[in-house]
Amino acid sequence: MRILYVFPHPDDESFGPARGIAAHVRDGHEVHLLTLTRGGATKERHRFGYTVEEMGAVRQREMECVARELGLQTLTVLDLPDGGLKDLDPAALETTIENHVVSTSPDVVVTYPVQGISGFADHLVTHAAVVRVYRRLKSVADQSPGRLAFVALTEDQAAQGPGVHRLFASSSADIDCVQTVREEDMERFRAALDCYETYRTMIERTGVKEMLDRRVAYEFYDERFDPPVRTLCAGMAGRG
């Protein structure tokens, strides 16, 4: 199956979702990644004396390393304003995302849950835009992905965070899939994080490599599985 992840920034795909992405690729699925910004406005740029443009170029190169480590089918990095998605025309942002979804024709689209895990504005805007795109495409059967999913943290995973950022968990009632990945998938997750040399200090501060275990949780939009299914594509027309 074809899976499209949509996130606002470089590293969003690696700070957790990479475990699941590695498992999807290992299971034979195509995984595509759309990143809306180059992430150049991060405060980490000041440690290197980079401008926003220079940091964005560096982070895009780091993402190309991630694409190789995870075995992504395609990587698309846009140059929308980092930290400024809330100031864009929502219709224009949705059209940009919709065009990519239609051209990729995924079976599953994955993005942030409603609380954005960290609560960052770009995460919240991305969630809302992707949901609206998905709902619009549902009215056009030949263009509609079969599933919209939100990568999530369980309550106990979020509680392991060191407090660098406030983390928002999904309740057990909202989680529809818990996939247990292999150690080789965890190794790819750690290797993907290591691609972000400019974020090495932040990776160490968050303790993300130690915080996250082999369980990758997802919420499904407008679907309910109780108990949760074991893979992202389970329950889709008998596949997964």
Tens place of pLDDT per residue across the chain (240 aa): 999 999 999 999 999 999 999 999 999 999 999 999 999 999 999 999 999 999 999 999 999 999 999 999 999 999 999 999 999 999 999 999 999 999 999 999 999 999 999 999 999 999 999 999 999 999 887 778 999 999 999 999 998 876 667 899 999 999 999 999 999 999 999 999 999 999 999 999 999 999 999 999 999 999 999 999 999 999 996 444
Q: What is the model's pLDDT at position 162?
A: 67
Q: What is the model's pLDDT at position 161?
A: 72
Q: What is the model's pLDDT at position 163?
A: 65
Token duo for residue 163 = 């407090």
2-220 CATH pick, 3.40.228.10, 3.50.50.60, 3.40.50.300, 3.40.50.10320: 3.40.50.10320
Q: What is the model's pLDDT at position 143?
A: 75
